[in-house]
Amino acid sequence: MPLPRPHFARRLVAVLACLAVLLPPAPASALSRVKDLAAVEGVRTNQLVGYGIVVGLNGTGDTLNNIPFTKQSLQAMLERLGINTRGATMRTQNLAAVMVTANLPPFATQGTHIDVTVSSLGDAKSLQGGTLVATSLLGADGEIYALAQGSVAIAGFAAEGEAAKITRGVPTNGRISNGALVEREMAFKLNEARSLRLSLRNPDFTTAKRIASAINDFMGADTAEPTDPATITLQIPAKYRGNMIRLITEVEQLKVEPDQTARVVVDERSGIIVMGRDVRVSTVAIAQGNLTVTITEQPMVSQPAPLSNGQTAVVPRTGVKVDTGDGNKLALVKEGVSLRELVDGLNALGVGPRDLISILQAIKTAGALQADIELM
């Protein structure tokens, strides 16, 4: 007798629920947002730099006789304040000449505060307790974009006496939080643009094509086209003109699976090796063995025979052991092995990081490593 329809539906739902629990989950693809893969061309940070004076130091500033530009800066600053010190002898060590750097964020408006970094130029011992006097910060075009001033905060310190000295961190480098005031804006009219250019952080042909395809699928039209591995040109649809923020926000949230070149990064100084997931090896046989020579010295004391006129002497005894690694055998690495299989196989040989670098280079020379080796 067939089951009633309601009972059959409940039974089917229960079976499907059990299968969902027992079956392994599908592997999640490594999708990344367009926001993390590319940046809008023109929306960038600009570097600012300036020269200034830090005052109020407790005898830890520049030596005026040794640092002439600090003395000249002090005289020029006092002259602007109506004080003439030309020809006078000055021996103060309570000020230091510094370079002031900052990053001007994109679309920073007048009156916005930004952080600045202060670094000593002369022989000052510490900037602790100092105050930066008003300093103009210039851009690459020579124009003034911000004005910096404020108390310098340092992360290190220095203390010394007649016979001991302690230094922690770098006391001649400090930071002023919100220490600069933006006086000029970078001219960039985003809403008036008729097209956008997306710059990939890691240029790649496949990734650029996938991003353009994702944008076109979202827009429903061919508005995006990769012009080179690092650039995607996006024509602004009519409905987004005058509202670029909405367009950029929606495009940045699109998810794409990025591609990458098979690459092995090697740092010979520290022995660090990083291999990408797409590294493949053709069929190759590997043997690893080193010639090890061990020399040990075990001096022995030689005693004279009883009732003899001999003397006690130390007789050298040298032991030499040579290990040619004859026990190591060839290991066969099959074609097309994955990164995990390659690492497991090399670990089975007992290969250390230093020897692994030489093995990878030898495999590349043999033409069996399908990846680029990049030395740092």
The predicted model gives 327-355 an average pLDDT of: 62
pLDDT score, position 187: 76
Of 190 and 289, more confident: 190
pLDDT value of residue 319? 62
* Confidence at residue 331, expressed as pLDDT on a 0 to 100 scale: 54
289-331 pLDDT, tens per residue? 654 445 565 677 777 777 667 677 776 666 655 455 555 555 5
Query: What is the bridge-based pairing of β-strands 144-151 and 173-182?
Result: antiparallel
E strand spans, 105-172: 113-120, 131-138, 144-151, 153-154, 157-160, 165-168
Query: What does the pLDDT read at residue 343?
Result: 66
Give yes or no for residue 176 having a pLDDT over 60.
yes
pLDDT digits (tens, 9 = 90+) for 42-91: 888 899 999 999 999 988 899 988 888 988 888 888 888 888 887 777 88
Residues 154, 117 contacting (CB under 8 angstroms): no
Please report the pLDDT score of residue 49 as a whole number. Answer: 96
Predicted pLDDT at 212: 93
Examine the pLDDT at 239 and tell me if it is beyond 50: yes
Residue 75 makes CB contacts below 8 A (sequence gap 6+) with 85, 86
Q: Is the pLDDT of residue 12 over 70?
A: no
Share of the chain above pLDDT 70, in %: 75
Q: Is the pLDDT of residue 147 over 80?
A: yes
The pLDDT assigned to 288 comes to 60
Q: Rounded to whole angstroms, how far apart are CA atoms 134 and 122? A: 19
Q: Give the pLDDT of residue 173.
A: 92
Answer whether residue 196 shows pLDDT above 80: yes
Band (8; pLDDT cuts 50, 70, 90):
very low
What is the pLDDT averaged over residues 20-40?
67
As beta bridge partners, residue 120 has 98
List phi, psi (to 5°) of 102: -160, 160
Average the pLDDT over 244-254 and give the result. Answer: 90
Q: Work out the average pLDDT over 127-147.
A: 93
Cα dihedral: 156, 160, 165, 168 (round 10) = -10
Across the range 22-39, mean pLDDT stands at 69
User: Is the model more confident about 18 or about 338?
Assistant: 338
Of residues 28 and 65, more confidence is placed in: 65
Mean pLDDT of the chain: 79
**pLDDT confidence of residue 28:** 43
Closest CA relative to residue 355, chosen from 291, 298, 288:
288
Q: What pLDDT is attached to residue 307?
A: 67
Query: Rounded to two decimals, what is the model's pTM?
Result: 0.65
**Residue 98: predicted pLDDT:** 95
Average pLDDT over residues 139-165: 85
Q: What is the dihedral of CA 55, 60, 63, 69, to 10 degrees?
A: -40
Question: 372 in helix, strand or coil?
Answer: strand
**Is the predicted pLDDT of residue 152 greater than 90, yes or no?**
yes
Residue 246 one-letter amino acid: R
